[in-house]
Amino acid sequence: MYRLYFLLFMLPLAWPAYAQKTSVRKSQELRIPMTAGKWTYAPGQVDFIAGKEAGVMKILKGPKSIVLNDVVFSNGTIEYDVELTGPGFPGINFRMDADQQNGENFYLRSFGKVTPDVRTTVQYAPIVKGMSMWDLTDEYQTGASIAEAGWNHVKLVISGRQMKAYVNDMSKPVLVVPELESPETGGSISLSGSVNYANLVIKPDVTEGLNPEPGYNIVAHDTRYLRNWLVSAPAVLPFGKEPVIGLQSTYGKTDPAELPDSSTRWSPIKAESRGIVNLSRQYAHKPGEVRLLAWLKTSIQSNKAQERLLSLGFSDEVWVFVNGQFLYADKNYFGTPQQKYPAGRCTIENASIRLPLKEGNNEILIGLANYFYGWGIVARLDDTVGIQIMK
pLDDT, tens only, 142-160: 999 999 899 999 999 999 9
Q: Which fold has domain 26-204?
A: Jelly Rolls (2.60.120)
Bridge pairing between strands 122-128 and 131-132: antiparallel
Q: CATH 2.60.120.260 residue ranges in the chain? A: 228-389
Adjacent-strand bridge partners of 141 = 123
pLDDT confidence of residue 25: 43
Alpha carbon distance 120, 146 (integer Å) = 12
Which H or E run includes 20? helix 2-26
Q: Domain 228-389: state its class.
A: mainly beta
Q: Which residues of the chain have pLDDT under 70?
A: 1-27, 248-255
CB atoms within 10 A of CB 129: 15
Which residues lie closer than 8 Å to 387 by C-beta, 6 or more apart? 300, 301, 302, 303, 308, 357, 381
Q: CATH 2.60.120.560 residue ranges in the chain? A: 26-204
Peptide bond into 316 cis (omega under 30): yes
pLDDT, tens only, 28-42: 899 999 999 999 999
pLDDT confidence of residue 22: 31
Q: Are 320 and 327 in contact (CB under 8 A)?
A: yes
pLDDT confidence of residue 26: 47
Q: Are 344 and 334 in contact (CB under 8 A)?
A: yes
Q: Are 294 and 231 in contact (CB under 8 A)?
A: yes
pLDDT confidence of residue 359: 98
Best CA proximity match to 94, nearest among 46, 155, 3: 155
Alpha carbon distance 4, 15 (integer Å) = 17
Tell whether the torsion through CA atoms of 268, 274, 280 and 282 is positive or negative.
negative
Alpha carbon distance 43, 55 (integer Å) = 19
Amino acid identity, position 367: G
Best CA proximity match to 355, nearest among 317, 391, 389: 389
